[in-house]
Amino acid sequence: MSIEKEEYHQYSRGGRSVVVFKYLDDNSWGCEYYENQLVNGEHTKVFLAEERYAGHAECYAESAADNYVFGIKNFEENQTDVCKS
């Protein structure tokens, strides 16, 4: 079953990008996290994770997005070092 969500914001810096969503089933907020990575010799936008922030306001998801693009928030799959970009 597909969960419906509405895109509200996009954040990007260097090779990292985030889409902030509002989930329509319960009006919660969340983010999809991406990174440009070298895949089979080509730069590709790779999906890393989706997080849902039930019980939090829009600004919480926006802060998470900011933290990711500025390298404060990371995932094991990250290949970029934003401190050097």
Domain limits, the chain: 10-20+33-46
Give the pLDDT of residue 78. 82
Q: What is residue 58's predicted lDDT score, i.e. its pLDDT?
A: 98
Residue 29 has a pLDDT of 98
User: Phi and psi of 26, rounded to 5°?
Assistant: -140, 10
Q: Return the closest-CA partner of residue 30 out of 52, 56, 3.
A: 52
**In which region does residue 71 sit, left (phi positive, over 0), alpha (psi from -120 to 50) or beta (all else)?**
left
The pLDDT value recorded for residue 1 is 62
What's the pLDDT score for residue 83? 55
Average pLDDT, the chain: 91
- Give the other-Cβ count within 10 Å of 35's Cβ: 23
- CB-based burial label for 20 (10 Å; 0-12, 13-18, 19+): buried
